[in-house]
Structure 1
């Protein structure tokens, strides 16, 4: 499992001294560096303060860029924050291979998610809470964070159904909702999640 360091790319960019990495203007990083700096700031500040307490001004100050630089790339704070966390989560939650048996693939997938929740559980819970109060953010949170994982699970279950690992009458949408509901319920209530919970959920889904 890869380990995501949100500051690594920023530090690397600022330490580079060749001509191709020079900034455009005093004190302002180039566009790619600015994007990395803003993403790193978003992750750090949301982890520290929670989504609702992070302002646009705090993000731009932490990244050392102007508000216009942020808005040139993202239309809102929500889009920036979800881009940052989508990148981080994508490193840690790979899509299981198509040839892995369904129960094993689901166990591996859930185990990776649970590792991510161990590190960023408080932050993700703040994003879930913010999604209840901010409909615009809720849409972005669904599109960028929830829906891609739901798609992975549904594809995994459909492959398993095709191979005869799941009964043909099992409803894939309902199974996906049950899988996500099981671990979000525990996460939102501060209950532990680990490999054992991943195994139990997968075993129950594939019980014939």
Structure 2
């Protein structure tokens, strides 16, 4: 996200929230490809330049809106959380899959945008994909140290397998539900 460093008019904090809300509302209603920057700014009641003062592209705006929304369920657990790593991973996957069931079309569109724009691909990976990969890998490391995960399991590889399973289903419009989250978790820890 950009910040105004020009010394011009002060940035309206509410405009950013309005733009994110408008973008999500319109993309959910009409589909990512059918929504223009003009439509988003009109819906938010702000000038086009206001959007470009904060985001480089529509994809950047939509990603920030989705990312903000996912913080409710995809935040890393506290260090002192007493639950097992298995329980934390299962809870995380159930939350992610629930979100993807409701917002899969948006994520598929952002993945497509990332394939067409190298700069956005870097942003998408660093802001959205990598933090979740790191969180799962750290939970798997914790599980291994606490004896929940077999000592011969490689947390990096297992994390890749987890992510591969759900990205594959997401991209192919497969079922992403609590049962799948529980099946993945059971397979990892059995």
Pair 1:36 & 2:36 matched: no
Residue of 72, 80, 86 corresponding to 2:67: 86
Residue of 131, 135, 139 corresponding to 2:122: 139
Residues 109-163 of structure 1: per-residue CA shift (max 9 Å, x gap): 1001111011111221121222222222211111121112112101111111111
Specify the alignment match of 1:26 in structure 2. none
Secondary structure at 1:100's aligned position in 2?
Answer: coil
Specify the alignment match of 1:158 in structure 2. 141
Shift of 1:49: 3.7
Select between 90-99 and 59-68 the one with higher mean Cα deviation: 90-99
Unaligned runs of 5+ in 2: 1-10
Pair 1:180 & 2:163 matched: yes
Shift of 1:200: 1.0
Specify the alignment match of 2:39 in structure 1. 58
Shift of 1:55: 2.9
Specify the alignment match of 2:49 in structure 1. 68
Q: Is the 8 A contact 1:165 1:206 kept in 2?
A: yes
Q: CA–CA distance in 2 between the matches of 1:51 and 1:133?
A: 14
* TM score, norm. by length of structure 2: 0.85
Question: How large is the Cα RMSD of the aligned pairs?
Answer: 1.8
* TM score, norm. by length of structure 1: 0.78
Secondary structure at 2:72's aligned position in 1?
Answer: helix
What is the 5 A alignment of 1:123-138?
A: 123-138=106-121
